[in-house]
Structures are given as C-alpha cells and as structure tokens.
Structure 1
C-alpha cells in the first residue's frame, strides 16, 4: 500500500532542484547575524520571525520589481568571504534536510564585490561553503550534491566576464551559466556574446525567460541565444489555445518547446507572488504537465516565498491531485535536465531517485 502523501513523507522523498537563488534562501536569523557583524543597518526588523514575515509580505506584492527589491537586504549582508561561505553551507544543509539529493543553486558574483572581493574570490567562497555544507549534511545521514550556476544581471554589462568565470570553474563545482533580473527592456539578446562563448566552450546555460515577459522573451532565449533550459517559462502557455471542445492546440513555439523536450524550471509559488500566475490552481504547470512538457518543480527563493521543495510538492499534490508517480515524474524530469554528466545523472536516477519513490509506492 502506498505511503500517504503528507508533508513528512514528501520531505523524505528524493527531490531535485534546478532553480534556486542563493541570495533568496537565507535563514532570517542568519540575515540578522550577518547584518550585525557587517554593520548593516537597513533591515526592517531584527527579530527573525518578524523579518521572515516581512520578506514574505514584500514578495507577495504581485510585482516582480517589488519582489526583486527584497534582495537588497540579503545581498547587502553577503559581501565578505566568511558570509558567503556561511550562507552557501547553510543552503546545502537546508536543502539536504528537505530531502533534496541534487541541487543547482545560482547566484550573481557581480553583486558581491561591494566590500572589495574580486570575482574569483566570491566564487571560491561559495564553492567552499557548498563543500562544507554537503559534508555537514552527510554527517547527519543526508546526502546531497550541489552544483553552482553563475548568474549575470541582464541590466548590467558583465555577462561575458561571468560566462568566462563559469567556464574557468566548471571542473570545481560550477555547472553552468544564467542571466537574471527584470525581463522587460532587457532582452536576452543583449548578452548574445556570452551565450555564444558558452556554446563555443561546450558549456551549459539556462536563461530566465517567460516569467514577467511573454513569448518574445522565450523565443529569443531559445532561437537566438540557444538556451538549454528556460528559467520559469510560464508564458509558453500563451502559445496554447483551447478549442471549443476544450482540446489544447499548440502554436509553433509551444510545440517546439515540447517536441525538443526543453526543460521548464517552474516555480509555482514564486510565480503567484510575482503576479505571473493568479493562483496555484490557475498556474500553467497544471496544463503543461497534462500536455507532458518537460516540467520541473523548483523553489526560486525559499526565504522570500517561504517555501521548500517539500511545500511546493505538497501544494501541487493538494491542488492538482498529483500522486507519487507524478512527483517522481517531476523529479526524474529535473534530474534528466541537470547540467552534470549523463552517467552521473543516470546513477542518481537509478540508484537514488527511483528506489526512493519505489519504497514510498510499495
């Protein structure tokens, strides 16, 4: 008999996370302690519970721009090597405790140089933190592998530099490249030289596209820039129409995305908070899953949206009636889409993920 789908059983299920921002996942208490150590006085509260509530309220404004403003506080306390090591270590520990067995965590090195750190030192501190946190998790019997994505800000002009940094550290824990930030007015083609460089170096990259902006952003990310995955990709649903009989009809771009099995890094709760979806029940993940797009489930920003992989999967199961088989499908989709080697992906699927779900479905 199958184990019941509860918060506790879902937490124990092996999970894979592809879209998680390091500066969006700090523990509230850590933000407060790092702010105190750095002399940062801009926090709206120095009480951990109140601060966590403030982040959630600010994130749930329905505005991506307002959502992004909250990062001023987390980035503000992540300006030293010690702070970066601590945040990355705690990130790995928290994800492992949540049952995540593989994660790709992204951050923008260019945002962490205000106190004088050079870009390589920023990357090395974060990689060291992941190493420390992974070891601590293993001591508690929780095994996780963390890969790092280096993100360039789409409103800035350092993307080629960050791409070169990603290639420089790709054998040391960096698995890919990304661009992020407000989409409107900053199309991905502004950074075409960075993407061309990544392709020339046989390296992987994803692009935030189709979150707050529509189909043109997705089209550019794929057809001009050559993205391996789409960060969010929610608005691909705009290229799907329902006939009078309710039958979905895919436009050319939607069909291309599905046919090519392009992974969608979907972050349901975050999308509701930023206004990309009206509610979880209205989120395109339901239709896209039904149509068997390469859907993956992600957290985006665990602090801002007060979410975890467990809470996301629990909410989806409650909202759409998903079963263990569906949660395993999301997880295998994500593992297939990870930016590590084929043998490593296959080993995690066959030796960790499938046995883990088999035990829950026995």
Structure 2
C-alpha cells in the first residue's frame, strides 16, 4: 500500500538540493539577532513573522533585479566570521530537518568583506559552520552531506579571484564555481578567464543562465564557458515548439541540453517571483520532465520564497499530479548531477534514496 502523498509524508522523503543560496535562506529571528549585534538599523520589520512576510512580498516582484534587492539586508548581517558560521550551521540543520540528504549551498564570498574579512576567511567561516552543522545533524539522526559552491557576481570584476578560491578549497568542501546576479547586460563570456581557470584545473561549474535572460545566455554558458549544469535554465523552453503532429519539436540548443543530459537546476517558486514564468501552473517543469530533460527540484532562496524542498515538491505534486515515483526520479536526477565523487553519489542513491522511497511507494 502506497503512503499517502502529502506535506507530512514528503517531509520524510530523502531529498537532494543543488541550488540554494546561503544568504537567501536565513531564519528571520537570526536576521533580527545578527542585525542587533551589528548595529544594523535598516531592517523593514522588527519581529520574525512580519520580517519573513516582508521578504516574501518584496521578492515577489516580477523581475530578477527587484527580486535581488532584499538581499541587501541579509548580506548586511553576514559580515563577520561568527555570523557566517552561525548562518551556515543553521542552514545545515534546517535542510537536514527537511530530510535533505545531500545539498550544495552557494554564496558569494566577495559580498562579505565589509567588516574586514578576507576572501579565505569568509570561505573558512562558512565551511566551519557547515562542518559543525553536519556533525550535529548526524548526532541527531538526520545525516546530511553539505558542500558549497562559491559564486562570483557577474556585474563585478572578481570572478577570477573566486574561481581561484574554488580550486584552492576544493578538497575542503568547495565543490564548484558559479556566477550569479542580473543576467541582462552581464553575459557569462565576460568571465571567460575564470571559467578557463576552472577548466584548467579540472573543476566544476554551474552558471545562472536562462532565468531572466533567454537562449543566448544558455548558449554562452555551455558553448564558451563549459558549464556542467544550468542554474535555472528555465528559458530553454523557448527553443521548444509544437510540431505538426501535436508533439514537441526541440531546437538545436534544446536538443543539445537534453541529449547531453545537462542538469537543469529548476526553482519553480522563485521563477514565479522573478517573472521568469507567469505562474506555477504555467511553469515548464512538467513539459521538460515529460520530454526527459534532466530536471531537478530546488529552493533557490528559502527565506525569500517562503519555501523548503518539501514545499516545492508538494506544489509540483498538487500542480502536475506527480506521484512518489516521479519525486524519486527528480531526486535521483539531482544526485546523479551533484559535484560529488561518483562512488559516493552511487552510494547515496543505492543505500539511502532508493530504499527510503521504496518504503514510501510500497507503504
């Protein structure tokens, strides 16, 4: 007998998260406490519920540029090693409590230098927080593996520095390199030296592409920068048209993405907030899944979107009628796509994900 598919049962299902921003997932009470310690007086609310509601409302802006504006508040309270450690630690514990068994959490080290920290000090504080969180999560019976992606801001000029960090710390918990920020006017090819450094040292990269900007952003990310995955990539749907027989015709770029199994780090709730798609019901997630693209489910920014992996999965279930087998497929898609050694990916799939889903599917 299959376990009933609701939020409570989904919370027990193992999950894999590839696209989550550290500065977009703080607990509201933590933002308030860190702001008080830092003497930061610019928060728009002074109690957790109202603050959480403000972040969600402000982020639901209809444009990526406006969606990014509330991050000024979270970044402002993440300027010390202690604050970064705490936020990283709580991130791990929150994900583990939601039955996430593997996560790659990204952040931009260059945004955390205002109080005098160096880039290495920023990375080390976050990695220490992740390590402590994993240790305590395991002791609590909710083991999780958390690795990090270091992100360069695409409008700035520090991408090579950040790429060097990715390589320098890759044996200490940093699993790859990313660029993020407003896409329009800031193509990934402006950062070719950073991506060449990553490729020279056999590193991994993912690029925010095909979110606010269309197919050219995706093309550059793959053809020139050599991205292993696409952060969002939702606009690949622009290269899919209806065929004369009522089916779907893939353009050359869409075919390349599907045929090469390029993972799409889809973030449905966030995509609605930024205006990348009109509504959850109109999100191309289901079309891409039916066409057998390698789709994955992600949160993007848990505070800004008032979401979790369980909630994202439930919304997909309620919108598109998915069952346990579908959720298992999306989870395995993500684990296959992780920047993690193959044998360890396989162990999580065979020893954790499949057995736990078998119980849910079989009741």
1:308 equivalent to 2:281? Answer: no
Q: Distance in 2 between matches of 1:78 and 1:132?
A: 18
- The answer for the alignment partner of 1:153 in structure 2 is 153
Q: How does 1:17-56 map to 2 (within 5 A)?
A: 17-56=17-56
1:11 CA drift (Å): 0.6
- The answer for the alignment partner of 2:205 in structure 1 is 205
- The answer for the alignment partner of 1:64 in structure 2 is 64
When structure 1 is superposed on structure 2, of 249-258 and 131-140 the one drifting more is 131-140
Q: Deviations over 1:157-181 (max 9, x none)?
A: 0001100011000000000000000
- The answer for the alignment partner of 1:84 in structure 2 is 84
Q: How does 1:65-144 map to 2 (within 5 A)?
A: 65-144=65-144
Instruction: Indicate the SS of the match to 1:12.
Output: coil
When structure 1 is superposed on structure 2, of 252-261 and 137-146 the one drifting more is 137-146
Instruction: Indicate the SS of the match to 1:149.
Output: strand
Q: Distance in 2 between matches of 1:111 and 1:171?
A: 23
Instruction: Indicate the SS of the match to 1:238.
Output: helix
Q: Distance in 2 between matches of 1:62 and 1:167?
A: 36
Q: Distance in 2 between matches of 1:129 and 1:42?
A: 26
- The answer for the alignment partner of 2:361 in structure 1 is 361
Q: Distance in 1 between matches of 2:52 and 2:245?
A: 46
Q: Distance in 2 between matches of 1:221 and 1:137?
A: 36
Instruction: Indicate the SS of the match to 1:328.
Output: helix
Q: Distance in 2 between matches of 1:256 and 1:9?
A: 36
- The answer for unaligned runs of 5 or more in structure 2 is none
1:136 CA drift (Å): 1.7
When structure 1 is superposed on structure 2, of 186-195 and 56-65 the one drifting more is 56-65
Instruction: Indicate the SS of the match to 2:326.
Output: helix
1:140 CA drift (Å): 1.5
Q: Deviations over 1:274-308 (max 9, x none)?
A: 00011111001110001010000000000000000
Instruction: Indicate the SS of the match to 2:230.
Output: strand
Q: Deviations over 1:149-202 (max 9, x none)?
A: 000000000001100011000000000000000000000000001001101101
Q: Distance in 2 between matches of 1:246 and 1:238?
A: 17
- The answer for the alignment partner of 2:16 in structure 1 is 16
Runs of 4+ in 1 over 2 A off after TM superposition: 243-246
- The answer for the alignment partner of 1:343 in structure 2 is 343
Q: Distance in 1 between matches of 2:276 and 2:163?
A: 28
State the Cα RMSD in Å. 0.6
Q: Distance in 2 between matches of 1:295 and 1:246?
A: 23
Q: Distance in 2 between matches of 1:244 and 1:286?
A: 21
- The answer for the alignment partner of 1:285 in structure 2 is 285
1:226 equivalent to 2:234? Answer: no
Q: Distance in 2 between matches of 1:302 and 1:355?
A: 27
1:138 CA drift (Å): 1.5
Q: Distance in 2 between matches of 1:165 and 1:332?
A: 29
Q: Could you tell me the TM-score, scaled by structure 2's length?
A: 0.99
1:244 CA drift (Å): 4.3
- The answer for the alignment partner of 1:189 in structure 2 is 189
1:133 CA drift (Å): 1.0
1:243 CA drift (Å): 2.5
Q: Could you tell me the TM-score, scaled by structure 1's length?
A: 0.99
1:46 CA drift (Å): 1.1
1:139 CA drift (Å): 2.0
Q: Distance in 2 between matches of 1:133 and 1:8?
A: 24
